[in-house]
Chain A
Amino acid sequence: MPKIVAVTGNEAVAEALRQVNPDVCAAYPITPQTDMMQRFATFANNGKVKTEMILVESEHSAMSACVGAAAAGGRVITATSSQGMALMWEVLFIASGSRLPIVMPLVNRALSAPLNIHGDHSDGMGARDCGWIQLWSENAQEAYDNAIQAFRIAEHMDIRLPVMICLDGFIISHSIERIEYLDDDTVKNFVGEYKQLNPLLDVEHPVSYGPLILPDYYMEFRRAQAEVMTKVADVVLNVAKDFEKISGRKYGLFETYRLDDAEIGLVILNSAAGTSKDVIDEFRNRGIKAGLLKPRLYRPFPYEEVGEALKHLKAVCVLDRADAFGASYGPLFMDIASSIYPYKDKPILINKIYGLGGRDYLPEHAELVLNELAEIAKTGKVKTFKEYIGVRD
């Protein structure tokens, strides 16, 4: 029987990790993730999990130890945020290039400088093209559900790739919400036994991990990695189907909210989607056809499916909680622009940067954006394609 509880996002993900019961966990403290690994370490030290902890001296070593442990042949986790993810950056590519199914919650936080411990998406966006699968989560329930599904996706024999589960720092990680926990046995059966692939610990069949590959084969190797990415979406959907059977909760590659007949729409990740949905309801009550798309599988990005879902709109605003400093658009905007690019008739796109370093995203921000979109839809005229909102002049 599912259990209804009131817990924080960090607590919910730690609970999912306890239920999955991995073989090895590397942990290093960083705000706002710290409390998740503290909780997990408490499970380990009280015999609630079989997991061996590696309490490393840095995130670089956390990911390095995860690579070693996963190559050895077992289920491996760690968790991080912000600067910690930045320090891991080198090894993130090695984990994915070596096709190791490591699972890592990323409690999204701003990057230095200036130092800021609060939530935005700079960390996850900075690592978006490192070959990991990224699942983003609106609330604690989605973070819990994504954490459980992540193992099935990562360890799928057609995939064998690491997975990052993104949730907003503080807003989700430290806020108490009502969520439903599955039974331990249900989670255990859903995730299943870990299947080894070329384990280092099989000393009878020695394998070499991490070769030097020069121009003669490097490109073939990279193409193979790119091809694996094309198989991820189907696996994510199949795992979601199975997950719906045990939880009653439905997941796709992204969520659409009142989008089918919408004329204007927002595209937004994670917690701010919740606030936006409320404002969309208000606009609908006033007879304005507004809708929303919230990506879940952000890497690999389902360009075709997202393009199909958005192509009929007149005007769309992509809201980014991170900027890409190239005097260009936010990272999510660039993906959305790519997804609608192939269509002859497509919505006008604008980009807003919001909520950096934990700045609140308020209903009035969504309202302003939706009013602007309604105007663009009517006139076809755009004043500014990209701007910061909720910021002092």
Chain B
Amino acid sequence: MATPLSLKELSKKELLLTAGHRMCSGCGAPPVVKMVLLASDYPVVASNATGCLEVSTCISEYTAWKIPWIHNAFENAAATISGVETMYRSLKKQGKIDKEIKFIAFGGDGGTYDIGFQSLSGAMERGHDMLYICYDNGAYMNTGIQRSSATPLGADTTTCPAGSVVPGKLQERKDLTKIMAAHGIPYVAQASPSHWSDLMKKVRKALEIKGPKFMNIIAPCNRGWRSRTDDAILLSRLAVETCYWPLYEIENGVTRVTVKPKEKKPLVDFLRPQGRFKHIFAPENEWLLKQAQEDVDKNWEKLLREEEFTKPQEEAKE
């Protein structure tokens, strides 16, 4: 029987990413990884794209991973785990292995949205039985906060700094979750560590579905977001409550918003505690703030419409 998703029961489980790793204090990524691994009752083999999580969890003779783990390069976590999973299928068919094992790839937004995008798309199309988890902190944080295609509009990064001529990033984020859904894979979801139960339910559901699955999980980075070290969970909650980071899933083409904020907070509530957006509160950058709010509204309404028109027939009649 599956471990109930209650704090009491989960606290009895072994953490498979141990303490002593070298991620920054207050980083959002380790709680995400711990939740993902806690959610699984199956043995997991993981691959990891080059990035903060990778360089900080396996250095020289130390490893923080209590599961089999492989780091190959930056852009190929998906292709790598697809190789592991294929060998598993081959050996299972030959009767050389009988265990039920799950395969998870972890990558940051740089390794997923940008350089690893082709590898991810290919692995999803090939139908490997794997779950790809992107921990999205919205920039290349490991190399020092450079812009990625996941960086939000207006953000100040080291390669698109808020200057007197160019006020930070001028483009909207790539909507990777939707792009993955467009691959027609059986399960795609967005999650946030602030909503741990929602996150773990999604992981659990994903692991029960055969085939390729993708989850995008927001993971605040206090170094890059210029926020307080103890605000990761608060910020990820504000991301959900402002509808900047909606929690939803797309299962076999049916979209379901899993958490609907009782009251949709203004985007500034999410932006204001972050130093990377400080400049957009200046009068001359008001247009950026306005556009950022409009983008959020547009995407949120689109998502609600999508939920409505993908609803199964019977449910729609009720």
Interface residues of A (CB under 8 A from B): 23-24, 26, 50-52, 54-58, 60-61, 64-74, 76, 90-91, 94, 200-203, 206-214, 216-217
Contacts and interface: CB of A to CB of B under 8 A. Distances in A.
A203 B83 contact: no
B72 A64 contact: yes
A319 B310 CA distance: 67
Interface in B22-45: 43, 45
A214 B60 CA distance: 7
Contact of A211 (B71, B88, B90, B91): B71
B73 interface: yes
The 5 tightest CB contacts between A and B, nearest first, are A68-B83, A57-B122, A210-B71, A65-B83, A64-B76
B291 to A, nearest CB: 35
A3 to B, nearest CB: 27
B19 interface: no
Contacts of A65: 79-80, 82-83, 86
A295 B165 CA distance: 61
B217 interface: no
Interface string B39-68: 000010101100000110011110101111
B18 to A, nearest CB: 12
Given A51-B90, A201-B88, 10 more contacts: A50-B94, A56-B126, A60-B79, A201-B84, A201-B97, A206-B66, A208-B70, A209-B71, A210-B48, A213-B60
Most buried by B among A65, A70, A202, A214: A65
Contacts of B80: 64-65, 67-68
A223 B195 CA distance: 48
Interface residue tally of chain B, by bracket? 35 or more
21 contacts: A24-B90, A50-B94, A52-B93, A57-B121, A58-B118, A65-B83, A68-B80, A70-B83, A72-B84, A72-B88, A74-B90, A201-B45, A203-B99, A208-B58, A208-B68, A210-B48, A210-B70, A210-B72, A213-B59, A214-B59, A214-B60
Contact of A212 (B58, B68, B81): B58
A203 B79 CA distance: 20
A76 B86 CA distance: 11
B83 A201 contact: no
Interface in B101-117: 101
A194 to B, nearest CB: 10
B87 interface: yes
Contacts of B125: 57
Contact of B79 (A50, A64, A70, A201): A64
B197 interface: no
Contacts of A26: 83
Contacts of A66: 83
Contacts of B59: 211-214
Most buried by B among A69, A90, A214: A69
Nearest to A213: B60
Most buried by B among A26, A56, A217: A56
Contacts of B67: 203, 206
B72 A69 contact: no
A200 B91 contact: no
A61 B115 CA distance: 12
B73 A68 contact: no
B84 to A, nearest CB: 4
A66 to B, nearest CB: 6
Nearest to A51: B90
A94 B83 CA distance: 14
A56 B125 CA distance: 10
B87 A212 contact: no
Given A51-B90, A203-B99, A208 B84 contact: no
Most buried by B among A52, A201, A213: A201
Contacts of A210: 48, 54, 58, 70-72
A166 B298 CA distance: 56
Contacts of B85: 68
A76 B47 CA distance: 18
A147 to B, nearest CB: 20
Given A56-B122, A61-B118, A24 B87 contact: yes
Given A50-B94, A64-B79, A73 B70 contact: no
A201 B101 contact: yes
Given A61-B122, A214-B60, A216-B60, A54 B82 contact: yes
Nearest to A66: B83
Contact of B87 (A50, A58, A201, A207): A201
Contacts of A74: 87, 90-91
A60 B86 contact: no
A58 B75 CA distance: 12
